[in-house]
């Protein structure tokens, strides 16, 4: 007797034998067609490329100004962290904390 693994469809709860995927592919439920699992070639390399790209974009996004205002010839620009600092110094520390957490700390 071979030890075959059973997997349950998360949509219809049908128990099915797990089939190995060779190469790229998607295994679907034979009753409802829901996706059970998939395999992509080079998925780790792809995730690493996305992560490195996100890091570069995060640095660029926090280095350059997000808003600029020109009044009477004076140009005032601020970055995201500069906006958080201005909110904090103006006494709006809950909003400053929320902006800092959701735009700088969490991503
Ligand atoms: Zn199903």
Over residues 47-88, the pLDDT tens digits come to 999 999 999 999 998 899 988 888 888 988 989 899 999 999
- Say yes or no to pLDDT of 37 above 90: no
Domain borders along the chain are 6-39, 43-105
Q: What is residue 4's predicted lDDT score, i.e. its pLDDT?
A: 78
Q: Hey, what are 100's tokens? A: 């800092």
- For ligand 1, the distance from its centroid to the CA atom of residue 38, given in whole angstroms, is 15
First to last CA, the chain: 49
Task: Select the more confidently predicted residue: 107 or 106.
Answer: 106
Place of tokens 């949509």: 11
pLDDT in tens, 2-13: 567 899 999 999
Q: What is residue 96's predicted lDDT score, i.e. its pLDDT?
A: 95
Q: CA 102 from chain center: how many Å?
A: 13
Strand (E) or helix (H) holding 6: strand 6-8
Distance CA 84, CA 81 (A): 5
Distance CA 100, CA 69 (A): 22
Residues with CB under 5 A from ligand 1 (ion): 9, 11-12, 14, 29, 31-32, 34
pTM over 0.75, yes/no: no
């Amino acid at each position: 007797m071979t030890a075959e693994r059973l997997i349950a469809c998360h949509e219809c709860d049908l128990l099915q034998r797990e089939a190995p995927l060779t190469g790229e592919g998607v295994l679907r439920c034979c009753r409802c067609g829901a996706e059970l699992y998939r395999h992509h070639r080079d998925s780790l390399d792809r995730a690493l490329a996305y992560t490195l790209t996100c890091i570069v974009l995060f640095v660029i996004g926090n280095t350059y100004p997000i808003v600029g205002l020109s009044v009477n010839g004076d140009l005032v620009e601020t970055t995201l962290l500069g906006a958080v600092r201005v909110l904090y110094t103006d006494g709006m520390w809950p909003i400053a904390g929320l902006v800092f957490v959701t735009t700088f700390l969490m991503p």
